[in-house]
Amino acid sequence: MIKIKLPPQHDDIKEIFLQCLSAANQVGFTTDHIQVSHSNNGDFVYHNGIEDKIFSVQLNAPIPAFEEESELTSNALASNLSQSEARHLVYLDGASLPAVLNKNAVYIDALFNGEHHDIWLNTEAEFCVLRSAQNIQLEPHRHLAWFFSCLSLDFPLEDALTLARAAVSHSHISSSKKLNSADAVLNVSRETWPKERFLFPVPLLVNDRVEQELELQFQWENIQESLFDFAELERDKFRLYPVVTEFTQIETLLKFGVKTIQLRIKDPDQSDLEWQIEQAIRLGREHDAQVFINDYWQLAVKHKAYGVHLGQEDLLTADLRVIERSGLRLGLSTHGYYEILKAAQLNPSYIALGHIFPTPTKQMVSRPQGLTRLRLYQEMISSLVPSEPTVAIGGIDLSNAQQVWQCGVTSLAVVRAITQAPDIQLAINLFAQIMQTDEARIAESA
């Protein structure tokens, strides 16, 4: 059972919170397991079924004075953050960001250059910044209700903040359109799950990682404003997307007509790593196929690969400009709203959405996304035309591929469903039959 406990002085949030859960239920989420009640003090409490997570909230008030803390290295800070029991939600109401920040605080609605931002430090000691897509006055109570609703639906902190911003924007725009409607006259508020991308805030790219905690400060000049324009892939070849561990598997699949493949070698110390990558790239050229190299972008650039696939953790270390100038396509892994929108800022060749179902092939920090979230992610992405190609990945096989495909993705990434199939050609043909059921959709999204 998930429990949200609201302070008695914020009882007015309860009605909005329940409306948010109703909106979530309408788009496919199960909410019967969520309870809302009162807390025993002035804090908000989120109980995830295992432990309590405490959130103190300060609305439109002077910046709180937090206890001074000792200096920590970036690794110690990250560890300290991940173990923290409390977060402070500080609503600035359009004021400037304080000069010295608290590592556990989320600063909401900080004004800089006429735009509104939310800023916090994640568990990796990296600054996260959301820039509001709409220049509107934030409604703290509605924002809070959506934030805790999303937490109760098991969204991580960054996604809950992202969705809360989008939902408040949607509510503001809807209210403006209904000024003369009966709902407006009766002052009826109906929360709606945000789907259009223009409503969502923009996660900014920050070239900074906190090296020490003492005098924690955020430098606005560290925001990366430069644009990228990675080469496009061929959508008509971007359908079935097997992920393999050695080049000999690539050779087999290419002979069966597969046109997009990823080579994912997990061990960076593998003795024949570079040779495997070189052979994979050669095979791709010989068969006019789109072969992506997972992680090893330097070797991919060196041997002029078709493309490279990177995870979110690689964005601070990979030289994206070198990859772009070398003409390589770029695929990026994402695991939720925040990472999808962050990836979109880089204009990648495709965005991977995962992991959809539990999978033993890769140890994942994030939880399985499931079909409801996948569909909502794709709806948000597709609301912008033309939209980025997408690939669903994680635990996909012939038993669930039809359901995944119906969520609207461009491609299906598979691992064991192909590499361990008793009859590889038959498995490829069966996947092709599933994806041929909606040829028009792919053409329209291009």
User: What are residue 146's phi and psi, to 5 degrees?
Assistant: -70, -40
**Residue 72 in marked binding region:** no
Measure Cα distances from 14 to 7, 35, 86, 308 in Å: 10, 11, 21, 47
Residue 266 is labelled as binding a ligand: yes
Asked if residue 109 belongs to a known ligand binding site, the reply is: no
Residue 302 annotated in ligand binding: no
Residue 264 known to bind ligand: yes
Residue 73 assigned as binding residue: no
The verdict on whether residue 354 carries a ligand-binding annotation is no
Is 294 labeled as ligand-binding?
yes
Question: 91 - beta bridge partners?
Answer: 59, 108
30 annotated among ligand-binding-site residues: no
Q: 360 a known binding residue?
A: yes
295 in a known ligand binding site: yes
Is 104 known to sit in a ligand binding site?
no
Residue ranges for the known binding site are 262-266, 294-295, 314, 333, 359-362, 395
Binding residues for Mg(2+): 295, 314
